[in-house]
Copies of this chain bind each other. A is one copy, B any other.
Amino acid sequence: MTHHDPIKYCQACGTPVVYRVPDDGDTRERAICPSCGKIHYVNPLMVVGTVPYLDDRVLLCKRAIEPRLGKWTLPAGFMEMGETMAEGAARETVEEAGADFEMGPFFSAISIPRVGQVHFFYLARLRSARFDPGSETLEARLFSEAEIPWDEIAFLTVRDTLKAYLADRALGRFGVHESAIAWSPKQ
């Protein structure tokens, strides 16, 4: 789920790059082209998704792809160029679950510095319990709080977002939750 492979050749002219700190006041090593001077930056990626709910149940998708094939996740994926965070989250919910829903408010933002990603979730009110999952999803189904398979959740950011959703729902008031997954040997 990461796009962060090492850069070996200049994407502008095809020359092998060298790694050094640019002379422009930067403090980090970058892949720099010794021929055309192009500096290649590598930056964190944004994953956008939703917490789709219908009455007291939430929608989870069983992953048909690696990583975490067979585990359950909220619909989410890499944000694309030309879309807003909310548009990306809605697109992923259509692609992965084929759900009929109305987008709700921004809900969570969780940094994962170990893998260079930040995951963002919006609430989404489902209009129907019928789903039409895409090729990345084996099964899409609704879970009550008691049914959520906590040991089979694909990502820590999904677990934390689900826990925050259930806690806020119990309080009767939804906030915005910003946090980070601490660096550790396994995500």
The minimal Cβ–Cβ distance linking A100 to chain B, given in whole angstroms, is: 20
Interface of A, helix, strand, loop or mixed by DSSP:
loop
Question: Cβ of B116 and Cβ of A4 under 8 Å apart?
Answer: no
Interface range on chain A (Cβ under 8 Å from partner): 35 or more
Interface, chain A (partner B; CB < 8 A): 3-5, 7-16, 25, 28, 38, 40-46, 78-87, 105-106, 109, 111, 113-114, 116, 118, 120, 134-136, 175-176, 178, 180
- Asked whether A109 and B82 contact (CB < 8 A) given A9-B12, A14-B16, A43-B46, the answer is no
Residues from chain B with Cβ under 8 Å of A114 in the complex: 82
- Once the chains are docked, how many angstroms separate the CA of A28 from the CA of B82? 12
Residues from chain B with Cβ under 8 Å of A40 in the complex: 11
Question: Cβ of B106 and Cβ of A85 under 8 Å apart?
Answer: no
Question: Cβ of B44 and Cβ of A79 under 8 Å apart?
Answer: yes
The minimal Cβ–Cβ distance linking A145 to chain B, given in whole angstroms, is: 25
Q: Which of B8, B81, B111 contacts A42 (CB 8 A)?
A: B81
Residue of B nearest to A14 (CB): B9
- Once the chains are docked, how many angstroms separate the CA of A78 from the CA of B117? 13
The minimal Cβ–Cβ distance linking A180 to chain B, given in whole angstroms, is: 4
Residue of B nearest to A181 (CB): B84
Question: Cβ of A43 and Cβ of B178 under 8 Å apart?
Answer: no
Residue of B nearest to A180 (CB): B84
Question: Cβ of A116 and Cβ of B5 under 8 Å apart?
Answer: no
The minimal Cβ–Cβ distance linking A28 to chain B, given in whole angstroms, is: 7
Residues from chain B with Cβ under 8 Å of A3 in the complex: 41, 43
- Asked whether A43 and B10 contact (CB < 8 A) given A84-B180, A109-B106, the answer is no
- Once the chains are docked, how many angstroms separate the CA of A4 from the CA of B120? 22
Question: Cβ of A178 and Cβ of B46 under 8 Å apart?
Answer: no
- Once the chains are docked, how many angstroms separate the CA of A181 from the CA of B185? 38
